[in-house]
Amino acid sequence: MNDNPTIEFALRMGDNCLILAQQVGAWCGHAPVVEEDIAFANVALDLIGQTKLWLGYAGELEGKGRSADDLAFLRDVRQFRNCLLVEQPNDEFAKALMRQFLFDAWHHPMLTALTKSSNARIAEIAEKSVKEVSYHLERSHDLITRLGDGSPESHAKMQEALNDLWRFTGELMTPDSVDEALAADGAAPELSDIQAEYTAYMRSALEEATLVAPEKVHMYQGGKTGVHTEKLGHLVAEMQWMQRAYPGLKW
């Protein structure tokens, strides 16, 4: 890990947005209805914009002349700091929707808390991002509610997606030395506070959607420190192909 916890934190926030944007953007032209095709494309664009802010800040702090593009396209898989949740594959549209909802439900309170950060740059990025994420959460909440409380088939698919993805949510609220260092400086919130808000929100939202969170599930960890599932390797290879094949390529 980087010795500077603020760099690590900016990479984590930026990589979450980058990898989820890549995942969401892959549905463009493939979503089951045109409305969702367009909505997912817009969410991806929002996340890419947020990626540029976070990774740009990380590059500035690092002081090695690396831009947001360099950090996105010229790092190896083990150097990515995204949570495991966002790298889970697009094998089912129901899982794509549930993955978005589970992340949005964490992302929104996290950004809201970061608007009060003692670090002015973090607060500024959060202020710009939270407005977009408010829409993301509103949309994903509405979809999992309508589908969870919809037909027997849609309910079953959403419950299956929740059962599969729930094990990756614990990492979002599990603090390590980076989280503790930023919380001590007032630059980021205590993750225990985010967890309390997340738990209360999720209890209400899932009840509304007639879905039940799995109990006694082992929560997987590692993404925040660069230990990923094999799925990220394939995703990063696809995302970085053009830059790796034609180094220094500019549009």
Predicted local confidence at residue 238, as pLDDT = 92
Domain 5-245: which topology? Ferritin (1.20.1260)
Q: Per-residue pLDDT tens for 123-171?
A: 999 999 999 999 999 999 999 999 999 999 999 999 999 999 999 999 9
DSSP letter at 3? S
Lowest mean pLDDT among 33-47, 208-222, 232-246: 33-47
pLDDT at 37: 67
Residue with tokens 């944007």: 21
Q: How far apart are CA 66 and CA 70, in angstroms?
A: 6
Return the pLDDT at 152. Answer: 97
More confident residue, 251 or 19: 19
Separation of alpha carbons 160 and 240, rounded Å: 31
CA distance 49 to 163: 31
pLDDT at residue 2 above 90? no
- pLDDT exceeding 90 applies to what percent of the chain? 88
211 touches 158 (CB < 8 A): yes
Helix (H) or strand (E) holding 59: helix 34-62
Among the listed residues 232, 222, 223, 242, the one whose alpha carbon sits nearest the alpha carbon of residue 76: 232
Domain boundaries, the chain: 5-245
Give the model's pLDDT for residue 91: 87
Is the Cβ–Cβ distance between 96 and 24 less than 8 Å? yes
pLDDT at 34 over 90: no
pLDDT band at 251 (very low <50, low <70, confident <90, very high): low
pLDDT beyond 90 at 69? yes
Which residue is associated with the tokens 């899982």?
95
